A and B are shown apart, each in its own frame.
Chain A
Amino acid sequence: MPAKNGAEIVAEAINNGTLPTPYNTKGVAGRSLELVVVDESTGTAKQVTEFRALAERREVDAVVGYLVAGSCLAVAPVADELKMLTFFSTCSTPRIFEENDFKYVYRTSAHLTPDGVTAARYLLKRMPNVKTIAGLNWNMAYGQDAWRDFRMSVQALKPDVEAINEQFTTFGGGQYGAEISALLTKRPTVLHTAFAGGDFEAFVVQMTARGLHQNIQMVMTAGAGSMFRLLDKLPDGAIIEDRGPYSVFARPTPLGNWFRTTYEQRHGITPPYTAYHMGQAVLAFKIAADKASKGGAKPAPEEIGRALEQLKFDAFGTTVHMSRSRGHQAVTESAIGVYKFDKAKNAPTVVDVTYYPADCVNPPDGMKGEAWIKGGFKGARCD
Chain B
Amino acid sequence: MATLAFIVADGIIYASWLLIVAVGMTLVYGVMRVLNVAHGSLYALGAYTAATMVGAWFQRGYAPLGSLALLLAAALVVGLVMGLILELGLLRFLHGRDEVVVVLATYATFLILEDVIQLIWGVEARPAPQPYSLLGTTSVGPLLLNNYDLALIALALLIGGLSWWGLTRTISGKLLLAVIFDREMAEACGINVRRVFLVTFLIGSVLGALGGASTAPMISVSRGLGVDVIVLAFAVVVVGGLGSIPGALLGATVIGLSRAAAVHLLPQAEVFAIYLIMTLVLIVRPYGLLGHERLRKV
Residues of A within 8 A of B (CB): 1, 41, 139, 165-170, 172-175, 177-179, 181-182, 184-185, 197-202, 205-206, 208-211, 226, 229-230, 233
Q: Which of A168, A185, A199, A209 contacts B270 (CB 8 A)?
A: A168
Q: Are B137 and A167 within 8 A (Cβ)? A: no
Which residues of A lie under 8 Å from residue B133 when comparing CB positions? Answer: 208-209
Closest Cβ of chain B: how far from A140's Cβ, in Å? Answer: 10
A92 to B78, CA, bound (A): 38
The reply to whether B127 and A230 contact each other, CB–CB distance below 8 Å, is yes
Separation in Å of the A28 CB from the closest CB of chain B? Answer: 28
Which residue from A1, A174, A197, A230 sits with its C-beta under 8 Å from B215?
A174
9 residue pairs from A and B, CB less than 8 Å apart: A166-B268, A169-B271, A174-B218, A178-B260, A201-B220, A205-B217, A205-B220, A226-B125, A226-B220
Complex: chain A residue closest to B217, CB-CB: A205
- B46 to nearest A CB, angstroms? 14
Count of chain B residues near A, Cβ 8 A: 46
Contact A177 B123, beta carbon cutoff 8 Å: no
Contact of A201 among B14, B127, B223, B264 (CB under 8 A): B127
Closest approach, in angstroms, between the C-beta of A220 and any C-beta of chain B?
14
CA separation between A184 and B137, bound complex, in Å? 14
Inter-chain contacts of B215 with A (CB < 8 A)? 174
Give every chain A residue within 8 A of B17 (Cβ-Cβ): 175
Q: Is the CB of A198 within 8 A of B263?
A: no
B122 interfacial contact with A, CB 8 Å: yes
**How many whole Å from A103's CB to the nearest CB in chain B?**
33
CB distance from A352 to the nearest CB of B (A): 26
Instruction: Indicate whether A209 sits within 8 Å of B148 (C-beta atoms), given known contacts A167-B263, A172-B224.
Output: yes
Using A181-B264, A202-B218, A210-B137 as known contacts, say yes or no to A233 and B228 having CB atoms under 8 A apart: no
Contact between chains at A178 and B10 (CB < 8 Å): yes
Chain A interface helix/strand/loop/mixed: helix
Q: Which residues of A contact B173 (CB under 8 A)?
A: none
Cβ contacts under 8 Å, B224 to chain A: 41, 172
Within 8 A of A (CB), among B267-282: 267-268, 270-271
CB interface residues, B 210-247, toward A, < 8 Å: 215, 217-225, 227-228
Give Cα distance in the complex from A199 to B223, angstroms.
Answer: 11
Main SS of chain B's interface residues? Answer: helix
User: For A209, what are the chain B residues with a Cβ–Cβ distance below 8 Å?
Assistant: 132-133, 137, 146, 148
Beta-carbon nearest neighbor of A202 in chain B: B219
Determine if A205 and B132 form an interchain contact, defined as CB atoms under 8 angstroms apart.
yes
Judge whether B298 is part of the interface by a CB distance below 8 angstroms: no
B283 interface contact, C-beta 8 A: no
Cβ of A199: which chain B residues have Cβ within 8 Å of it? 220
Q: Mark B1-12, 1 if CB is under 8 A from A, else 0.
A: 011001101110
Q: Which chain B residue shows the least CB distance to A166?
A: B267
Task: Contact check, A178 vs B228: say whether CB atoms are below 8 A apart.
Answer: no
Residues of B within 8 A of A205 (CB): 127, 129, 132, 217-220
**Bound complex: CA A163 to CA B44 (Å):** 37
Say yes or no: A175 contacts B218, CB within 8 Å.
Answer: yes
B120 at interface (Cβ–Cβ under 8 A)? Answer: no
Which chain B positions have C-beta within 8 A of A229?
124-125, 127, 220
Give A206's nearest chain B residue, CB to CB.
B218
Which residue of chain A has the shortest Cβ distance to B124 in the bound complex? Answer: A1
Contacts of B122 in A (CB 8 A): 1
**For residues 104 through 163 of chain B, which have their beta carbon under 8 Å from a beta carbon of chain A?**
122-125, 127, 129, 132-133, 137, 142-146, 148-149
Contact for B3 among A139, A173, A185, CB less than 8 A: A185
Q: Does B259 contact A (CB under 8 A)?
A: yes
A-chain residues with CB within 8 Å of residue B221 when the two chains form the complex: 198
Tell me if B13 is interfacial: C-beta within 8 Å of chain A: yes
Residue contact B267 to A182, C-beta cutoff 8 Å: yes
Given contacts A168-B271, A198-B125, contact A177 B223 (CB under 8 A): no
Contact (A185, B6) CB under 8 Å given A170-B271, A210-B144: yes
B229 to chain A, nearest CB (A): 8
14 new A-B contacts, CB < 8 A, other than A201-B125, A229-B127, are: A139-B270, A170-B228, A172-B224, A174-B218, A177-B149, A181-B6, A181-B263, A181-B264, A182-B6, A184-B6, A198-B225, A201-B129, A205-B129, A209-B137
